Structure formats: structure tokens, C-alpha cells
Amino acid sequence: MDYFLHALRNYANFNGRARRKEYWMFTLFNIVFSIAVAIADQVLNLGSESFGYGILSIIYSLAMIIPGLAVAVRRLHDVNKSGWFLFIALIPIIGGIWLLILFCTEGTHGSNQYGEDPKQQPDVLAI
């Protein structure tokens, strides 16, 4: 949960690097919260039959666009790729697979053009 909150605190920070753990924990909690919000929409009967989503789901999705993009760009920086590589996902089938592989790849050891290795820095999230 700390990684999710860390990504939200840095919601508009497209600089630096994000470890695999930070990216995937953000993604995991984002999915869990999305499901919870969708269930809340159904329980509160806020869903629209013509649109398919409820107002809470729409608000949550809009709120998570910038933090999601920021953590994805920082993750790409960790593997020494530009944030523009996110557009590779627009290539049907192959682009999404390639992006998934980049997100799963271990980051560059040591510093790169995007900053210091986050694994070598003390973990500010550890208690």
C-alpha cells in the first residue's frame, strides 16, 4: 500500500525512476480499488445502463490517469527508455506485449540518464 501512496504523492512527477515493485504494487492496488469502486457503483445503483459505468468509477478512473502515466514513465526510465515508449502500446498485439516485457525487465544497474538506481538508494518506504 505504501508504494501506491508513494505513486499518488508523486502523481505528476515524470522524472526519475521507479522500481518494478513500485510499478506493480501501484497496478495491483489500482485494480483492487477499481473493482471496489465498481462494486460500490452497483450497490448504490449509480451505474448507467446506456454508458455501463457508474459515476464513482468514472471519477476514480479520471483521478488515476496522471498517477498511472507518471509511474509508467518512471518505470520505463528505470529500464533506460524514454517515456514516449508508452506509445508502443498502440501497435496492435505486439506493442502491448513489448511494453509488458519492458515493465517486467529489471532496471538498469547503477545510474542512467534518468537518475540514480532506486535499488541502491535507501528505501524510504521501509519502516
**Higher local confidence (pLDDT), 124 or 58:** 58
Phi, psi torsion values for 93, nearest 5 degrees: 60, -65
Q: Which residues, 6 or more positions from 126, have their beta carbon under 8 angstroms from its beta carbon?
A: none
C-alpha dihedral (12, 14, 16, 19), degrees to nearest 10: 80
Average pLDDT over residues 85-111: 93
Nearest to 79 by CA among 54, 104, 51: 104
Q: In this structure, are residues 116 and 56 in contact, taking their beta carbons and an 8 Å threshold?
A: no
pTM confidence score: 0.84
State pLDDT tens for residues 63-94: 999 999 999 999 999 999 999 999 999 999 99
pLDDT at 6: 82
Q: What is the model's pLDDT at position 78?
A: 92
Percent of the chain with pLDDT over 70: 92
Q: In the chain, where are the structural domains located?
A: 2-104
Contact predicate 13/70, CB 8 Å: yes
User: Which element (helix H / strand E) includes 52?
Assistant: none
CA separation for the pair 118, 65 (Å, rounded): 23
